[in-house]
Structure 1
Amino acid sequence: MRRDELIEYCLAKPGAEESYPWGDEELVAKVGGKAFAFIGMAGDSVGVKCGASAAEAAEYRERYPDDVRTSDYIGRYGWNTVRYEGGAVPDDEVLELLDRSYAAIVAKLPKSRRPA
């Protein structure tokens, strides 16, 4: 999967918007003002919410030890960094992780900020 495909997939979700809080180094895909994907613009990985805690997200790190790691700073909250280009994680599973991350964030939003 290529970066532009990944970005297009994220931004096609209801209510999704892009932001660049750290300049043009990283695109943050948000819904209701909350991040659901961190896409490095210089690399080949995406940060996604994979569980409620690091322990819950460990399944993916165990399954793909070379291509999934705990996200810096927010890994203890269930975020993993997943290599999407050229790695062992299949494209359909990357998309599923994006879907799950988006759904987890939307579920925690107040009803007034959820997409219609």
Structure 2
Amino acid sequence: MNIEDLRDYCMSKKGTTEEFPFDETTLVFKVMGRMYVLTDLESEFAINLKCDPDKAVELREQYASITPAFHMNKTHWATIRINGTLSDAQLQKWIDESYQLVAAKLTRKQKEELNNL
């Protein structure tokens, strides 16, 4: 997976927008205004994903390329270095899970709006 693949995959998800809310190099993908993927365009290619706390611990133990997310709540966010050791399918699965975790916390109104897109 490269940055173009990441962008295409995230933007294909319903209700997703992209922006640079922090600086000109941190690309953030949001569902209905809530972050689910972050990446820095100038650093080593990696993504921050929302993650179930128990699963985050399990993934860190299983994969050397997964660490607690820098500048994020380390209980709920994980950094995944994209260095060729993980398949695109696995990365997409984790992106899907991040999206679903965030979408599940939307307000009722936002969920209805998302479903109508």
Query: How high is the TM-score relative to the length of structure 1?
Result: 0.88
1:3 partner amino acid: I
Q: Report the equivalent of 1:92.
A: 89
Q: Which runs of 4+ in 1 moved over 6 A?
A: none
Q: Report the equivalent of 1:107.
A: 104
1:1-116 aligned at under 5 Å gives the runs 1-42=1-42, 43-51=44-52, 53=53, 55-65=54-64, 67-84=65-82, 86-114=83-111, 115-116=114-115
Q: CA deviation at 1:49?
A: 1.2
Structure 1 Cα separation of the partners of residues 106 and 81 of structure 2: 27
Identity, in percent, stands at 28
- What CA RMSD, in Å, does the superposition of the two structures yield over aligned residues? 1.4
Gaps in structure 1 of 5+ consecutive residues: none
